[in-house]
Structure 1
Amino acid sequence: MTNLNRRDLLKQTAFASALYLTASSPVRAHSANSKLNLAFIGVGGRGNANLRTITAESDVEVVAVCDVNQHSLERAAKTHANARSYVDFRELYNKTDDIDGVVVSTPEHIHAYATLPALKAGKHVYCEKPLTWNVEESRIITEAAAKADVATQMGTQIHGMPNYRRVVELIQSNAIGPVREVHVWVSRAWGLQSAEDAKKNGDIVHVTERPTEKMTPPPELNWDLWLGPAPYRPFNTAYFPGPKWYRWWDFGNGTMSDLGSHWNDLPFWALKLDAPLTIEAFGPEPHPEIAPASMSAVYEYGSRGEMPACTVHWHQGANKPEIWKAGGIPQWGNGVLFIGDDGMVLSDYGKHILLPEDKFQNFEPPKPFIPDSPGHHAEWVQACKTGSETGSPFSYAGPLTEANHLGNVAFRAGKKLEWDAANMKATNCPEADQFLKRTPREGWSLS
């Protein structure tokens, strides 16, 4: 299947297994009967939603709020009058004695920098998806979380919904036989595209090159802190407000890292995937500044226990699987298709079907064996207090995030990658190194 020899395969499998050892390990709990004191980094947009949802849980106290946007910060501070307010989260970490956990809801290029200090301080962490901005950051956060022994959760809320659990049960109970092929497709096309396609897709902005116009940031925004570790560039409305920044490589990774966190989560969970052996991507000529609107990627995974080797195909934007284009399956706008030896399972966020439908007309699904979640946020709060498990701990979310990033790395490098997970290196493609990590701007560090 690949040019990796048996020694490399065994080493990679052992490494992936080591990463997953902490997934079911009990974490150091807070106290089920005392208040959970939380700090929120990023309280606008998604962060505001997280703030409202998590504080709806019983016995949660907000002790600190932080945002680079003064309007968002003032709104949060008004609601939580006893909380300390910060613009720079690095100052928030100067006083952590009364903080039990941290919720990170910043743009993705900030995630690792806001998360790592919390882990090092032994604080529980909830971080929005994708967990990090690049592969190296994913590895750093995954390893730091394992050492911290705290409750962690990546914000993939759909992971906590019943539908994904029922699909995982179908796949893992062998309802369609061994699965050797999976297709994931999403219709979102945030990235580099023509003006005509942007209009057709209802896109939020049509930009094909880095803007040269220097604009004055709005007075409520600290632009330098918003940039964080990313290379400096003048403010422009092409980047802010969100989600415009998603498409720019310096701040996000386009549709792949964003929606890959949700849609690739299902096969990653159901098939017990770990580190891919090879990754290849297809699409337009890579742009140095902007992620693609449409692209595809193919991941090859080795066998996992009794599960056979398999390929996972990612289709984004205008791209769809051949079986979808031929009308061989229902043409859902977004979906995950598992192809087994004895049938298929097609799923989206909220529903799934077994195919061909006539074959499974009288099929009795397995008795549920994955307990329903109390809610993705509630799961994390409960884990902080009791040491229970979360559905998407960093021991799981880290490798998932790495895999998603590798699709973009293969796309940008323009070559099929042979991946040495243990050494975090594409052995056949040294030019991929530049996309795995970066040197942060002066004043920012993950050391």
Structure 2
Amino acid sequence: MPFPPSSQSAAKISRRRFVAGTGCLAAASFVSPQIARAAANDRMKVAFIGVGGRGGSNLRSITATGLVDVFAVCDVDTRFAEGAAQAHAGALVFQDFRKMYDAIGDQVDAVVVSTTEHTHAYATMPALQLGKHVYCEKPLAYNVYETRRITEAAKEAGVVTQMGTQIHATDNYHRVVELIQSGAIGDVREAHVWVSRAWGLQSEAEAEANKDRLFVDARPTDVMTPPEHMNWDLWLGPAPERPFHRVYFPGPNWYRWWDFANGTMSDLGSHWNDLPYWALELDAPQTVESFGIPPHPEIAPASMKSVYQYGARGGKPPVELAWYQGSYKPDVWTQGEIPQWDSGVLFVGDKGMLLSDYNKHLLLPEDQFVDFQRPEPFVPDSPGHHQEWVSACLGEGQTGSPFSYAGPLTEANHLGNVAYRVGQKIHWDAANMKCTGCPEADPLIRREPRAGWSL
């Protein structure tokens, strides 16, 4: 589907690049995985998939390093693709990332994926198979199976990877990890994570309280014509087919619908659960149980609670991690025993507590830690989440959120939703990607993609 010729900006894209970007090309011939080559003069040629919204932000941040040349841009919305092409002269332009991969071959060193959640794995896998470094927005993939496939493919490719959990690179998170891992509050057997965001299906009380900003909570029956600047079929990608409607596009509306995403848990869980997952060196949970209003077949919940049980890890004791979103909060919060932060992470140790958000943290009770001597820093400072990925691709340093780490974190977040949707405690067999004795969880762990799409 060519870009609309009437667009003024389209005229500024050369016909040679336009044809190369949208013409029918031979199917990709994937090579054996290999480490992507370093660009000449310590620069990288990068292809960007998804360049509007978060994708546009990633494009700006990564090119701001001064070490990247934009080789290609791709977006199902031609407004964003054309705008990015104008800003980066010489970049090839695509609307379908499958055709982009057909064209780029060995001409790029790395790929940045900033599409909607349900196409992350499908946009990322070809890059890994071609031996390209990859930056992918969070969550890493749409479900547990896709996440595991991407994690394994990245390991096999041996390339530099980074998931877009920008807060992971901040000094505050680094200092919290150091405090927990050095034993500042003793052994931690309990942790709580809560976020105030309440986007999704709401209870009657929540709906009344938020009626001025309530989204549609049922699949629309009317059919709308997609705007000329976007390809609805490409946007759907592997998701089940349904007619276009503005309740799905533009974002962030799509994020509430199970067919396209997994609500607050997979989105904000990538940022907030990251801190306890890292600090406590968690792996796969043993069990997960979730609570909330009855699950809706179409829409993720606004409010939900999930409780994870993790086993002992080396010299660390078992730990219970509880997640709260929307109206749910930890008892210690509702009883006023800790500061009333809208969102936070609370570690409970046998020598005290640590409360953190994105930018600050407290050791509690505060009077107990007045003379506390912090450990010498041992988590290396980051030059910035995007910079560390670019630098690592060019052979300097390493990333803080590689797929080897981000994959298991993403799987754990997805399992909170799986437990919620099946309505029972799940016992997780990580090796086999199965909820023991719960076959109804299988289609939530792995779904069959729409015809024409495969990993």
**TM-score of the aligned structures, taking structure 1 as reference length:** 0.92
Q: Choose the corresponding residue for 2:341, options 327, 332, 340.
A: 332
Q: 2:365 corresponds to which residue?
A: 356
Structure 1 pair 310–220 and aligned structure 2 pair: CA distance change class (3 A): same
Q: 2:245 corresponds to which residue?
A: 236
Q: 1:78 corresponds to which residue?
A: 86
For residues 198 and 120 of structure 1, the distance between their equivalents in structure 2, rounded to whole angstroms, comes to: 46
Q: 2:73 corresponds to which residue?
A: 65
Q: 1:115 corresponds to which residue?
A: 124
C-alpha contact (below 8 Å) 1:32/1:385 kept by paired residues:
no
Give the deviation of 1:196 after TM superposition.
Answer: 6.9
Percentage of pairs with the same residue: 66
Q: 2:24 corresponds to which residue?
A: none
Structure 1 pair 45–231 and aligned structure 2 pair: CA distance change class (3 A): same
* Matched letter for residue 82 of structure 1: G
For residues 97 and 146 of structure 1, the distance between their equivalents in structure 2, rounded to whole angstroms, comes to: 20
Q: 1:288 corresponds to which residue?
A: 297
For residues 85 and 203 of structure 1, the distance between their equivalents in structure 2, rounded to whole angstroms, comes to: 40
Helix, strand or coil: the match of 1:318? Answer: coil
Higher relative contact order (CA 8 A, sep 6+): 1
For residues 209 and 448 of structure 2, the distance between their equivalents in structure 1, rounded to whole angstroms, comes to: 38
Give the deviation of 1:53 after TM superposition.
Answer: 0.6
Helix, strand or coil: the match of 1:358? Answer: helix
For residues 167 and 93 of structure 2, the distance between their equivalents in structure 1, rounded to whole angstroms, comes to: 31
Residue deviations 1:187-241 (CA, integer Å, cap 9, x gap) = 0011102587357558755212111110011111111100000001111111111
C-alpha contact (below 8 Å) 1:178/1:340 kept by paired residues:
yes
C-alpha contact (below 8 Å) 1:198/1:206 kept by paired residues:
no
Task: Give 5+ residue unaligned stretches, structure 2.
Answer: 1-34
**TM-score of the aligned structures, taking structure 2 as reference length:** 0.90
Tell me which stretches of 4 or more aligned residues in structure 1 moved more than 4 Å: 198-205
C-alpha contact (below 8 Å) 1:181/1:338 kept by paired residues:
yes
* Matched letter for residue 268 of structure 1: Y
1:37 is aligned to 2:57: no
For residues 106 and 192 of structure 1, the distance between their equivalents in structure 2, rounded to whole angstroms, comes to: 24
Q: 1:20 corresponds to which residue?
A: none
C-alpha contact (below 8 Å) 1:299/1:312 kept by paired residues:
yes
Structure 1 pair 100–200 and aligned structure 2 pair: CA distance change class (3 A): farther
For residues 32 and 135 of structure 1, the distance between their equivalents in structure 2, rounded to whole angstroms, comes to: 38
Q: 2:13 corresponds to which residue?
A: none
Residue deviations 1:108-150 (CA, integer Å, cap 9, x gap) = 0000000000000000000000000000001000000000000
Q: 2:216 corresponds to which residue?
A: 207
Q: 2:236 corresponds to which residue?
A: 227
Q: Choose the corresponding residue for 1:413, options 422, 439, 445.
A: 422
Q: Choose the corresponding residue for 1:166, options 157, 172, 175.
A: 175
Give the deviation of 1:57 after TM superposition.
Answer: 1.0
Residue deviations 1:398-422 (CA, integer Å, cap 9, x gap) = 0000000000000001110110100
Instruction: Single out whichever of 315-324 and 29-38 deviates more from structure 2.
Output: 29-38
Give the deviation of 1:41 after TM superposition.
Answer: 0.1
Number of aligned positions between the proteins = 420
Helix, strand or coil: the match of 2:106? Answer: coil
* Matched letter for residue 52 of structure 2: G
Residue deviations 1:422-441 (CA, integer Å, cap 9, x gap) = 00101121111111010000
For residues 277 and 111 of structure 2, the distance between their equivalents in structure 1, rounded to whole angstroms, comes to: 26
* Matched letter for residue 219 of structure 1: E
Give the deviation of 1:375 after TM superposition.
Answer: 0.3
For residues 214 and 76 of structure 2, the distance between their equivalents in structure 1, rounded to whole angstroms, comes to: 23
Residue deviations 1:338-372 (CA, integer Å, cap 9, x gap) = 00000000000000000011101111111111111
Helix, strand or coil: the match of 1:419? Answer: strand
C-alpha contact (below 8 Å) 2:144/2:411 kept by paired residues:
yes
Helix, strand or coil: the match of 1:97? Answer: helix
Structure 1 pair 210–298 and aligned structure 2 pair: CA distance change class (3 A): same
Residue deviations 1:34-75 (CA, integer Å, cap 9, x gap) = 320000000000000000110011221000000000111110
C-alpha contact (below 8 Å) 2:290/2:420 kept by paired residues:
yes
Q: 2:25 corresponds to which residue?
A: none
Give the deviation of 1:30 after TM superposition.
Answer: 2.2
Q: 1:389 corresponds to which residue?
A: 398
C-alpha contact (below 8 Å) 2:36/2:131 kept by paired residues:
no
Task: Give 5+ residue unaligned stretches, structure 1.
Answer: 1-26
C-alpha contact (below 8 Å) 2:39/2:109 kept by paired residues:
no
